[in-house]
Every structure is written in C-alpha cells, then in structure tokens.
Amino acid sequence: MKIHEYQAKELFRREGIPVPEGRVAETPAEARQIAEDLGGGPVVVKSQVLVGGRGKAGGVKLADGPDEARETAEAILGMKIKGLTVTRVLVTPAKDIAREFYLGIVQDRSRQRPVLMTSAAGGVDIEEVARTAPDQIVTTPIDPVLGLRPFQARQAAFHVAEGRTAAQMARIMVQLWNAYRRVDANLAEINPLIETPGGEVWAIDAKINFDDNGLARQPEIAGWRDPAESPPEENEARAAGLSFVKLAGNVGCLVNGAGLAMATMDLIQHFGGRPANFLDIGGSSSPDKVVTALDIITRDANVKAILFNIFGGITRCDDVARGIIEARRRADIAVPIVVRLVGTNEEEARDLLAETDLVPAATMDEAVQTAIRLAEGGAA
C-alpha cells in the first residue's frame, strides 16, 4: 500500500524529521490561503497522486506568493497524471537548495532485512543511480532486531557529507528508521533531503510504502488508503478477500492460487489470447466469493469469455463445481464460461457441469484455447 507525500510527511514529522510546514488544498482559494498563512513568500504547489514522476508531468510547480499559488493550484488541480486525476495539492514553502541527498530504507529480500541507502546523488531517480553509478550509493544493512544503530547512521552520513550537516543527517536516518519500523513499511524514502545555503537540512519530499501483511496491526495507516491508488474493481476485490489485477484483454480468469493464476494468464497470451485480469480466488470455493469475482469480471465490457481454472487438491471437485453452478445461477452472465477442474472427484464434477451451459475442459491447455476461441466469437 502507498500513501501520499503529505501523509508520509506527517509520519516523518512525528519522528522529529525536519519537514517544511505546509497544508493540503482541494481548491485554488485554499491554496492561496495556505500560501498566505505560510508568510506570503514563494511556495511549491505539489500534486498529491500515488504515482511517480509528478515533477516531469508538470504536477509540481513553484509559485511566487499567494496569488501565484492560487493560479498554479488552478492549473494543477484536475490535471491527469498517468491516468490519475489530481484532486489535492500540497502547498509548502520553497527552500533554497545548496545540495541534495538521497536517504531510503527498503526491504532487501536477499539479505532478509531492511537496508539503508544513502547517496550524495539526491533528487534524481535512485534506481537509475543504482544502475549507472552504484558506487554513489552507500548501503547499510540493518539488523532486524537491533535496528539501525546511531553509529551506523553516522558512518553512512559522514560518507556522503560532513560536519553539522552529516550529524543532522545521521539523526534523520535513525528517525527514518523509527518511522519505517513503527508502521511496518517496506520503503521509506526522502528524496531529496536538502541542505540550504545557510546549512539547514530539510526533507522536502517523502515517500512510504507499506507491507500489506503489516496493515492488520496498523489500523491508522490502513485507514489512510486512497482508493484512487487502484482501479475500483481492485478495491472491491480486496474488500472481498480476492487478489485481483485488472488487465486489458478479453478473457476473464478465475483461478485458485496465485502461481497458477499467473501461469494461466501467461498461457492465454502464449496461445495468442489476451487475459482480462489476474484473479486468485484463494483456497475456499464459496459461491459468495465466486459471485463477487464474476460480478467484477463481467462489469468489464471487454470480457467476452470467462475461464475457471481450478486445481482442486484436497477440496472435492464436485463441491467446487456445485459452487460454480450456484454462483453462475445467481449471477446474470451473457458470456460463455469455460471450466477446468482437476483433483478428487473430477469426473463427478464434469458430469455436473454437463447439465449446464458451462463448457468443461480437461487440461489447462484445452481450457485456455477454448476460452480464447469463445472470446473471439468462435464456437465451444
């Protein structure tokens, strides 16, 4: 899960990280008022959308005082950035920049622990730096139990800076770690952390992503979820306990298990078709879940055929078939449905399906090819 810059800044502020003041505006007039409240000097008006590259897209602009802030907000509010409409802007004082640094803490899968990444190359895309000039990044593994020790932070900070600036940076690193740890983040980033010509240090951008598995114990953070982060179907699926990702094709898929769901999606493409989604309906085969899944999938007008790919495993296939038939009965569906069921009692299941308009298939390959053909208007 992601949150907005202004929310990440709030979490950073709680830890003591120096973040410039600022507030969120939903209208140009509010933006003007905030700029005035901030003293009337130059401000930055920053679109709050959950995608990267806001700056390049024109979603971050300098404004010289309240009137310009209003005009700038007017231009930015309503903009579309990578498909997302800007409904909020953060208005925050502009800071003079002498130097820009990068600070980030991210889960390192190979090391099975978080790492602090520090670089004097701030303000740019850190993944680009990692690719082109990895020696410009200092990597500090963080002991998952001991946490980031202040001395480790100092070692990293004095590697990229010096004097009072480095000492402040080291304190900010520990505060960033505290933020990361406290909210079950898997990414916490300040890019850039700036030094002003006068030697002040400020976190002028802020980003935190969360470990979805940690959200159960982070009720405040979970409540900050912006539905605009995902298409509405994905939010609805999540609420129903389904793992769903929308794609652009015409074959809707319902699969049990994430790996099998990915493989099904791949197989559709392999046989020249186009999957409409990734959908893992999980271990249970309750008709309620299937109905919700069918509802979400068929709302997409592109979907011309639906494919069930279920490896029954321990669950009896006839039970699964009965669940699908019940769901199909409750949902009003116009497109053909191909069902492939493997596992205990798969013959009984096929007999059950034979009495319906569901199209049975024996193998994954057969099921996928049938679904593609049907989606393209062919016959079962």
Confirm if 267 and 366 have CB atoms less than 8 A apart.
no
Decide: is 152 part of the binding site for another protein (CB under 8 A). Answer: yes
- Smallest separation, CB 189 to another protein (Å): 12
Binding of another protein by 301 (CB under 8 A)? no
Instruction: Please report whether residue 266 would count as binding another protein according to CB under 8 A.
Output: yes
CB nearer to another protein: give 64 or 229: 229
Cis previous bond, 219, omega within 30: no
Provide, rounded to whole angstroms, the least separation between the CB of residue 19 and another protein: 22
C-alpha 93/C-alpha 183 separation (Å) is 27
Which of 69/324 has CB closer to another protein?
324
Query: Which listed range, 20-28, 85-93, 112-120, 300-308, lies at the site for another protein (CB under 8 A)?
Result: 112-120
Q: How far is CA 307 from the centre of its chain?
A: 27
- Rg of the chain over Cα atoms, rounded to whole angstroms, equals 26
**Shortest CB 303 distance to another protein, Å:** 17
Is 189 assigned a catalytic role?
A: yes
- Would you call 102 a catalytic residue per the annotation? yes
Comparison of 23 and 181: residue with beta carbon closer to another protein:
181
Work out whether 360 is an interface residue with another protein (CB under 8 A): no
Catalytic residue among 15, 68, 100, 102: 102
Region near another protein per CB under 8 A, out of 58-66, 147-155, 197-205, 351-359: 147-155
Q: Which of 189, 195, 233, 346 is catalytic?
A: 189
Based on the shown chain and the rule CB under 8 A, indicate whether residue 112 belongs to the binding site for another protein.
yes
Instruction: Sort strands 337-342 and 99-108 into parallel, antiparallel or unpaired.
Output: unpaired
CB of 378 to another protein, least distance (A): 21
Six token digits for residue 253: 């898929």
Q: CA torsion sign, 150 to 156 to 157 to 162?
A: positive
Whole-number minimum distance, CB 260 to another protein, in Å?
4
The least distance separating another protein from the CB of residue 127, rounded to whole angstroms, comes to 5
Q: Cα–Cα distances in Å, from 17 out to 65, 120, 197?
A: 26, 18, 19
* Cβ partners under 8 Å of residue 336, min gap 6: 305, 306, 357, 359, 374, 380
CA distances 1 to 204, 219, 357, 371, Å, are 22, 13, 40, 33
- Residue 102's nearest CA partner among 12, 191, 196 is 191
Regarding 261 and contact with another protein (CB under 8 A), the answer is yes
Return the residue of 243, 286, 302, 356 that touches another protein, per CB under 8 A: 243
330, containing H or E segment: helix 317-330
Among residues 14, 86, 28, 34, the alpha carbon closest in space to that of 57 is found at 86
Query: Three-class SS of residue 322?
Result: helix
C-beta closer to another protein: residue 217 or 299: 217
**Would you count residue 275 as binding another protein (CB under 8 A)?**
yes
Q: What residues are annotated to the active site?
A: 102, 189
Residues engaged in binding another protein (CB under 8 A): 107, 109-110, 112-114, 127, 143-146, 149-152, 154-155, 158, 162-164, 166-167, 170, 181, 184, 186, 211-214, 216-217, 243, 245, 247, 255-263, 265-270, 275, 278, 280, 311-314, 342-344, 363-365
